[in-house]
Amino acid sequence: MISAQEGQDGGKKPAESLRHGAGIIVIDKPRGPSSHQVAAWVGKMLGCQIGHAGTLDPQVSGILLIMLGNAVRLAPLLLKHDKEYVCLMRLHHEVDRKQIDVVAAEFTGRIYQRPPRRSAVKRLLRIRTIQKMDILGVEGKLVLLRVRCDAGTYIRSLCHHMGLALGTGAHMQELRRTRSGSFDEGSMHSLQDLQDACSAAAAGNREALDAMIVSVDAAVPDLPSVTVRDTAIDALCHGAKLAGVGVIRCDEFRKDQIVAVLSQKREFVGLGKALAPSASWSPGKAGLFITMTTVFLTPGTYPKGWKKGCTPKNRKIRAR
């Protein structure tokens, strides 16, 4: 689920100087408030448009990705991040540790799940993959698990089904998200730390706040990249497609794969969809190869570089 809203703080806005108006803050969501409430507090502190990706229930803590400014355009990718959780499961009767290990192994891999009745999504049967499950400890009826899984996996349902398989019944007692994609607990900041950093920024010291704001490209470290000429960037910002003559270098990618488009200074221009595999073309070759799906730079950030008679309306780039 994605939420977006404007910060309502009428005073000085610490996030106004965000480079190109985009960034991500990884918040350690506490138990109690909803994800929407936490995102609203962050928006009020920073005074900028915000959104959050990967909703956590009120009683669940851990990593909550807060997107700042036009970083909300990353939402579709952030929602697909693999997740990691530490879960405390309570069995309804004690069982032997070996039985727990056997059932944990049986639930590792592809499993069927149906969203809980309280879920906001349709309760359709779905397949999710439990990539890894570690039993961290067993004490009486309490079982501590670490679970690495696909996005959209319901840990509450996982505990219920494991309880059925053990023949004892079980439920999820506590849950904490410890990883989302490349972001782990070492990336997190508490709401209090953010408030302190905003207060310092308002007083003229932005060092702590700037250290908390992660660039948008950090959210997509595994995507193949395409480096384009500076003279091509403004046309991309106006909606043009990218031709080979505007490309300096690129990684390997498949047709229809999402790629990161970078400037010569390694600035994150945006995301694009490959119209052809990288093996079929080379930098400098004529023809259209990338169509932009998400642009983070604003028009005018780089000087206009298309030739007369070849405007963004023509939907392709010819670098000077």
Cite the active site residues: 57
Q: Measure the CA–CA gap between 64 and 25, rounded to whole angstroms.
A: 8
Contacts 24+ apart (CB under 8 A), 137-142: 138/97, 138/100, 140/94, 141/90, 141/91, 141/92, 141/93, 141/94, 142/88, 142/89, 142/90, 142/91, 142/173
Q: Measure the CA–CA gap between 238 and 303, rounded to whole angstroms.
A: 12
Question: Shortest CA distance to 83 belongs to which of 102, 51, 55?
Answer: 55
* H or E segment and range at residue 45: helix 35-46
Question: CA geometry: angle at 90 spanning 88 and 91, to 5°?
Answer: 140
Report helix, strand and coil shares of the chain as percent, to nearest 5: 30, 35, 40
Backbone angles phi, psi at 65, to 5 degrees: -85, 120
Q: Measure the CA–CA gap between 245 and 319, rounded to whole angstroms.
A: 7
Tell me if 159 sits within 8 A of 142, measured CB to CB: no
Radius of gyration of the chain measured on its C-alpha atoms: 23
Question: Shortest CA distance to 147 belongs to which of 175, 166, 171?
Answer: 175
Contacts of 204 (CB under 8 A, 6+ apart): none
What Å distances lie between residue 287 and 33, 219, 235, 243, CA to CA? 51, 30, 16, 5
